[in-house]
Every structure is written in C-alpha cells, then in structure tokens.
Amino acid sequence: MTLKSLLSHSIEAYTAVRTDTRPADVVLSDYLRARKYLGSHDRKFISEAVYTTLRQELSLERFIRIALPELSNNLTYALLIFLSLAQRSQENLLSPTSELTLLPEQTLSDLHARFLSHRQSQTLSERFSFPDWVTEKLRAEFSEQALEHLYTSLNSEAPLTLRTNTLLISREDLQERLLCENITTTFGTLSPDALLCDRRRPIFHTEAFKQGLCEIQDEGSQLISLLLNPKPKTITLDACAGGGGKTLHLATLMQNKGKVYAYEKILKRFGNIRDRLKRSSLQNVELLDSDEKLQRFREKFTGKVDYLLIDAPCTGSGTLRRNPDLKRRLTPESLDRIKRTQSEILDDYAPLLKAGGRLVYATCSIFREENEAQVEAFLSRNQQFSLLPASEVVKEIRIDADLTRLCERLKDETYLKLFPHRDKTDGFFAAVLTRHS
C-alpha cells in the first residue's frame, strides 16, 4: 500500500478513535477487523501512527488550535497524524493526502518548521504532552529529572509480557516451546513467572497459548497476586476481577486447590474469562457473575475469607504506555470521583476478611491520592487492620522460584510501588494489610 493510502487510513482510524467514547484499543481493533484487505505491514503502520499521535496529541493539538484556529476537527485530526509522524520519520510525509490538500495556503512543511521552533519554548507538560495539573501533582513526588524519565517511559511502547502457567509448564520449558514457534523471550527481572517477548507477536495464534501454557500479563501485575500469597485449600476473593488476569494467577498460586471467587460489577469486563479458565485447566475458580451471587457469598463468608484482593478501579495513570488516550480523559474531577469509589469499595469489602486474614489493595495508578493516601485513610477508620511492609511480606513467599531480585527491589519498602522508568513495568501500587479482630 502506498504511503498516501497508509496516511489516509491512519487519519481515518485516528478520527474514529477521537469520535468514539470507547477505549482506543477497542476502536482501533474494530477498524482494522473491518478491513481485512489490509496486510500485516499496513496494520502495523496504522496502529503505530494512531498510538504515536495519541501519545502527543495534547501538545500537538494545542499548537494547531493556536496556529490555525479556524481549522475543522477533521483537518485537525489529519494534521495531528502528520505532525506526530513527521517528528519521528525520515520518510517524505509531505505528499498530501486528500484530507490535507484542503489546508489553507500555509504549507505543511512551514507548519512543521513552526512546531519545531515552538518546541524550544515548551513546558515540561507540553514537551511530553501531559495535562498541566498532572505535572504539578507529580512534582510533589518526583524530582524534575525523575519526572522527565517517567514521562519518557509512559510515552514509550510497553513490552509484550507473558505469565507462565506453572500448573502446566516451567518458565524455562515455556521459553523453549515459544522459541520453537519463532518467538524469542527473556526472563522478567521481578516476577518468577514472567517472559518478555523481543517484540510484538501474535501470541494468541501460538500453540503454547492455545494449550493454556501462558497468559498475557504485565510483570508488575503478576506481583500483585504474589504479594497476596494465597495458600492452597483456602478461600480467596478477587473483589474487582475485571478480565480475570489476577484471578487466574491467584488460582494457579493456590495449586488448583481451595476456591477463588471472582466478582466484577460490570459483567462485560469478564470478557472471555470462561474460555481462559478452560484453557488454563483451572477448576478452583467460581465466578460471582451477578449481584445475587455476590449477596449469597456475603451471607456465607462475611468474616471468613482468608485472602482478599481489591484491585480497585483507578485512573489507570500507570498504564499510559498501553492506553495513551487516557491522558485526554484524566481530569481532577475524574480523580476525585475515583477516590470516593475506592474508599467505598475498601469499606464495603473489608468486613469479609477473617481475623488473621490478608488484604491486598492495589491500583495501576501513579497518584498518591489513590495509593498511600487511600490506605492511610482506611487504616484511620479501621483500627482492626494494620499494614504489613512489602519488604517483609515478600520474604514469606514460598514457591519453587528464585525471588532474590524481587526481595532486593522491595528492600526496606513499605509498599509495592512500580514505575516504567525504573522497573520496566506499568505503574503499579500495592499495600498488604492484615486484620487483627
């Protein structure tokens, strides 16, 4: 396909993302699925063009609105694609697509030159295309240099990471199996089950995946279940299960013994979890897929749950590598709303835990208000709970794997706090609590 056609498709796909309320990955997947004539190279170009633009759109669009205030939305979207690609590509992108020929007399090359000149006077937020309020909030937690490193990482592409299904295969054997399918991987540094693919791969089509030997899961996400450290033959509740990635991992850690109950308020988020359970050979998971089932669970198990995971709804600010469109949706108001929800969920589910039981509160956020502040507020309201330092909890984990690197990473740490610029994972937070009475 010609560059002109690829640019036109990229603009069309990006416009679809901007005008649809669903997450970008869902919209883009639907767009590509509806155009089966696109080859793998074409799909890769379009996907990268859309995601490159999403990572930069806040600062680019601000510049365009100032330079060409009368421009329509459709032409603005076309220019966003052009400017974002022009910054990183040596190809000649100045051959106008049908959309860009409608621009005023100002040429694309002049506009690009103006933008490059404008970059020299940009603020930190503008350079990395983050909302100003986010930068000001994070400056309380990070030095200027560390914040630049964090923003650089959040604007980069996330690796494709797998979790080994240790019920069926070892990580070493899985690595060999994948290599036989021409997929090269390296060991993760923190999770004993993680394999990092050398590049984006069609994992769903591999025999290893079809046989349930692995799941796609960020390395940081894998550590959440490890910290809960559920034992076999116990009762575990995954109270905000989402797609069930951590549910499957918890059930695996329990060696397919005992019971993991998984509840998700928004049922469609469960997705294809039943297929995943079947493929993984897990039989110790029960889905609480209705409010009625949750209520019956409460009546039976209040004060009796051994392990409770609250992977709380959050801003998702730690996942911007995968979901750059979230930048546009992040607002102080949305943060305030989600904080209230998190607080309510903690108070609602905590009574289910038995005395001596363990609770892990986790988010994929980098904001203190969703993390340490939530835990501190919860503990002030609930004197029967106390905090267990992550550095001590990790020493208690007894599995057939070397956790030396993880112990070193969490040395003297009260919480699990992961960042892409430091740990090569998504941004994650976890606190481990226990109930005394």
pLDDT digits (tens, 9 = 90+) for 194-211: 999 998 888 999 999 999
Q: Is the pLDDT reported for residue 292 higher than 90?
A: yes
- pLDDT score of 107: 59
- Whether residue 22 has pLDDT greater than 50: yes
For residue 83, give the H/E element and its range.
Answer: helix 73-88
Name the residue among 260, 258, 308, 302 with its Cα closest to residue 434. Answer: 308
Dihedral sign computed on CA atoms, order 91, 86, 128, 320: negative
Look at residue 48 in the predicted model and tell me its pLDDT.
Answer: 93
Which amino acid, one-letter code, is at 231?
K
Parallel, antiparallel or unpaired: strands 285-288 and 305-311: unpaired
Say whether pTM exceeds 0.85: yes
pLDDT for position 96: 46
Mean pLDDT computed over 207-216: 97
- pLDDT score of 97: 47
Pairwise CA distance, residues 198 & 217, whole Å: 15
Q: Which residues 6+ apart lie within 8 Å of 116 measured at CB?
A: none
- Residue 327 has a pLDDT of 95
Decide if pLDDT at 317 tops 60.
yes
Comparing CA positions, the residue from 66, 114, 115, 77 lying closest to residue 99 is: 77
Contacts 24+ apart (CB under 8 A), 288-292: 288/261, 288/262, 288/263, 289/264
CA–CA separation, 219 and 107 (whole Å) = 45
Task: Give, in words, the CATH class of 3-122.
Answer: mainly alpha
- Which part of the chain is CATH 3.40.50.150? 220-435
> What is the length of the chain?
437
For residues 17 and 50, give the distance between their C-alpha atoms in angstroms, rounded to a whole number.
9
Q: Which pLDDT score is estimated for 98?
A: 44
pLDDT at residue 298 tops 70: yes
The pLDDT of residue 248 is above 70: yes
C-alpha distance from residue 400 to each of 246, 321, 416 (Å):
19, 32, 22
How many other CB atoms are found less than 10 A from the CB of residue 284? Answer: 19
Would you give the distance in Å from CA 350 to the centre of its chain? 25
> pLDDT band at 100, cuts 50/70/90?
low
* Euclidean distance between the first and the last CA atom of the chain, given in angstroms as a whole number: 66
Q: Determine the Cα angle at 305 with ends 300 and 306, to 5°.
A: 155
Band (pLDDT 50/70/90 cuts) for residue 3 is confident
Give residue 89's pLDDT band: very low, low, confident or very high (50, 70, 90).
Answer: low
In this structure, of 26-35, 120-129, 315-324, the range with the lowest mean pLDDT score is 120-129
pLDDT band of 95, cuts 50, 70, 90: very low
Name the CATH superfamily for 220-435: Vaccinia Virus protein VP39 (3.40.50.150)
Sequence-separated (6 or more) residues with CB below 8 Å from residue 262: 237, 238, 241, 244, 247, 270, 273, 285, 286, 287, 288
H helix runs in 155-290, sequence order: 171-180, 207-210, 219-228, 245-253, 273-280
pLDDT in tens, 371-423: 999 999 999 999 999 999 999 999 999 888 889 999 999 999 999 999 999 99
pLDDT at 92: 43
The CATH 1.10.940 portion of the chain extends over 3-122
For residue 45, the one-letter residue type is F
